[in-house]
Amino acid sequence: MRCFLFFVGLVCALSIGWHVPVHAAERPNVLCIAIDDLNDWVGCLNGHAQIQTPNIDRLAQRGTLFTNAHCQAPLCNASRTSLLTGLRPSTTGVYGLAPWFRTSPKFKDRVSLYQAFKRAGYKTFSTGKIWHGGYPPRKERAKECDKWGPNASVGARPPKKLVPPTPCGNHPLVDWGTFPHKDEEKGDWAVASWATEQLESKPDQPFFMAVGFFLPHVPCYATQHWFDLYPQDQLVLPPVQPGDRDDTPEFSWYLHWKLPEPRLSWLKRNHEWKHLVQSYLACTSFVDSQVGRVIDALQASGRADNTIIVLWSDHGWHLGEKGVSGKNTLWERSSHVPLIFAGPGIATQVPCDEPAELLDIYPTLVELCHLAPVDGLEGHSLVPQLRNSKTTRPWPAITTHNQDNHTIRTKRWRYIRYANGSQELYDRENDPNEWRNLADDPRYKDVITELAKWLPKVNVPPMPGSKHRILVRDGDQWIWEEKPIVPAEKME
């Protein structure tokens, strides 16, 4: 009789959607692979005609590749905080490279992605760059994750910068090229080595492991072997159009007003455009090789069949498009990122062109691994698309950079609304390079009206302690990194 009543209760619980706990031992492992500043220049996304990324491409064949995935913010700390908390930047106010989000009393006890798995009985590991910079503070690390490996680092460096002095202080990280050193001396090699060691040790409980690679973030240093894959005399440069910014709002410059990353004009004057593109491609191929080392170690451990792999980049990176290098924009080159899921129950060898966000990773993993629900997640599970890539999604992808600056990305359109009310609209089907701003064309008024409905309703000011890449308004004056913007001083 008790068995019968238990069976009836279980059926009732399932029928009304109650969460039925799953023992940790029955759950799949998770391997998260993050790559810093990687745009869509990977083979499976056809972002660059010459790129060689065989290991990422191999992973895409093993699972589902989201070809229309976008970051929540085109900046490291803001993007990673959003992904790992499940909250939009416009909800937390984390827009810049600082602060650590738990300095706000409102988010001090927010359950991070790590903590969701740790509380579910997983052994949690982290190495390299997952959170930004030195976050979390060392004294708080044990609360986030069980075991920490090497931090992200450049590794071997040349005795002096390889490129001419760059604008805005000749920042030491803004450099690229090759010099005599070995792959084994690079920071990403150490990160991959630590991850492979942990996988070889075969943890005795389900694990959540996050492995974060630094490259192709500047400085873009790689060994000569990787540069040889991309001879400069055969190099394909990204498409740019003279006067591309002529039909974009003046305010678009305010999102990257004064930055260490040089403009295209500087790259051309100093004959560094090809050199930067070559270095970025070389570094991408190198980091792809480290992705391969980690995936091969998982395979050798015998646990690949019960491990979900998710690979993502925190945001894209310009290499001359729209006249800039770096991130910090609301265009495709900054927002579009690789996103791949592979593992048990996930469709293989299929692309999905539905809009997806990095914000969706958290709820997707919660569902795939049968974790207890986490309150307030602002993304949406991708499980329906992982089962059938043709399943439509009603939501667009939304990227935010500083307060009240957003872009809405659907399958066809990119709509940008800036904090001063200026706009951009691009028809991606007919203008994949986003060269023609349609926002002022009355024929597209209804399109803009529909897309504007998706703009976030919550737009909190920067969290106290915010700094680096922060844009705020003081009356009629716009302030960039605590200095008034003077339009005549625009860097072009």
CA dihedral 271, 274, 279, 284 (to 10 degrees): 150
Omega before 219 within 30 of 0, i.e. cis: yes
Closest CA to 469 of 168, 75, 39: 75
Catalytic residue, from 32, 76, 352, 369: name it.
Answer: 76
Residue 23 is among the residues annotated as catalytic for this protein: no
Residues 85, 110: contact at Cβ < 8 Å? yes
96 in Cβ contact with 78 (< 8 Å):
yes
- Asked if 472 and 403 touch (Cβ cutoff 8 Å), the reply is yes
Q: Report how many helices (DSSP H) and strands (DSSP E) the chain contains, helices first.
A: 15, 21
Using CA atoms, how far apart are residues 23 and 13, in angstroms rounded to an integer?
Answer: 17
CA–CA dist 239, 484 (Å, integer): 33
For strands 339-342 and 63-66, give the pairing: antiparallel
Quote the DSSP letter at residue 165. P
Q: Contact at 8 Å (CB) between 223 and 286? A: yes
From the candidates 32, 48, 70, 132, give the one annotated as an active-site residue.
132
168 in active site: no
Q: Which two tokens stand for residue 52?
A: 């060689």
- Tell me the C-alpha distance between 321 and 218, whole Å: 17
Q: Which residues are catalytic, by number? A: 76, 132
